[in-house]
Structure 1
């Protein structure tokens, strides 16, 4: 067995979807898995391309978006390490409805559809894991829709900053993308996003320089987020 296959299996073993599999199953998955390396700014696929598997991000970040007829980009999701995308369209047999672009130097695994179908057929636990992952993605998108419809721009930004903190004890974070990309992700114009950050700063809730944010008053920010 060549070294690249062993490397792919080591990567696969770290993926939550595959972490309960033994060497034999990982060998089978590895046969249908390819590494995809993308430099910052590189397109991984375009809307309309055939979807013949799903991607798993090992490091870096991928932006999923579509562009309107007027050329305005709408960012749907930012996919970071440990997360995957494309499963639903793979099962539907549909082409991609979004485009994917690396926002950082990124390493992904592309796992082909036939391999996934084979494992679902053989392993009920694996099928349940896939369903859980798809359900989690759908729930997350529904929460986004609720947020766009029912929460103000300030609530969305405050909630996003608190979510990005991850560790409740932390007070500093680095925004994972440009302000323009994050504004689109939160369904705001870049100008509105910048105004909200400036307003939160004037209220001494946050301080920011470039993409580095310091939370000065977590309790006050939680109040603005409606938590």
Structure 2
């Protein structure tokens, strides 16, 4: 247990107004672990045992589904099929975020798996403890409502983008989100994730991501590895149909 880091959790907005008794229980019952890249925090379908609080690093929520496709190794009339697993990154969370609080509060299985995509330090808070805070700590219940509202708005924004913007526009919008809120001028940024992870997060294939990068180059977006140069933010904003509603 890393008690100093567990104490730091109490400074997060979700836990800052807990009563002294609740703060003591959190420190007594929670624990912190350091995780390497690609560590699995939990699996899709597993019962929600902990609320995971990210102290440092990054965690991807990964959804998976089984698909079937015809096997090429058998005659077509045999109608043999093989199961192929598909997965996609649904969201990426960073330091200060909590992971899948809804499953913990509802005492339901996780809808997605969680995997670290950078070396991370994670606080594990037992699910029954969190549910007891919801029942007995009014300030915590209010903070949870605000957290869930923000998550709902984030997911609504992603759904809107998926339906109304092309993959290239979504990619450009993501790059703009890394430019510190600037509305015009140039920007130099570094991608926090690799291209394979970025493609999955944006709902694109690796090939489509490459084509989108080529399209963005024509409007002054130059990507080399993780380094990105945007010549004219206003031009990219216009191309991506940015409306600033977040």
TM normalised by structure 2 equals 0.83
Q: 1:8 aligns with which of 1, 6, 9?
A: 6
Q: Quick check: 1:129 aligned with 2:143? A: yes
How many angstroms apart in 1 are the aligned matches of 2:54 and 2:12?
9
Of the three residues 203, 207, 212, the one matched with 2:222 is 207
Partner of 1:64: 61
Higher radius of gyration, 1 or 2: 2
Partner Cα distance (2:140, 2:207) in 1: 45
Matches of 1:195 and 1:6 in 2, distance apart? 47
Question: 2:232 corresponds to which residue?
Answer: 217
Shift of 1:217: 0.9
Q: 1:43 aligns with which of 40, 43, 46?
A: 40
Preserved CA contact (<8 Å) 2:176 2:237: yes
Aligned length: 223
Which 5+ residue runs of structure 2 have no aligned equivalent?
67-83
Distance 1:223 1:130, change over 3 A: same
SS class of match (1:64): strand
Shift of the 20–171 alpha-carbon distance from structure 1 to 2, 3 Å rule, reads farther
Distance in 2 (alpha carbons) for counterparts of 1:57 and 1:140:
18
Match of 2:154 among 125, 137, 140: 140
Report the secondary structure of 2:197's partner residue: helix
In structure 1, list runs of 5 or more residues that go unmatched: none
* Higher RCO, 1 vs 2 (CA within 8 Å, ≥6 residues apart): 2
1:164 paired with 2:178, answer: yes
**RMSD, matched Cα:** 1.9
Matching of residue 191 in structure 1 with residue 189 in structure 2: no
**CA drift at 1:122:** 2.9
Which of 192, 212, 220 in structure 2 is aligned with 1:176? 192
2:18 and 2:139 in contact (8 A); partners too: no
Q: Residues 62 and 101 of structure 1 are in contact (CA less than 8 Å); yes or no, is this contact kept in structure 2?
A: yes
Summarize deviations over 1:81-102 as a string: whole Å, max 9, x none: 1111121011221111211111
Q: Distance in 1 between matches of 2:230 and 2:176?
A: 9
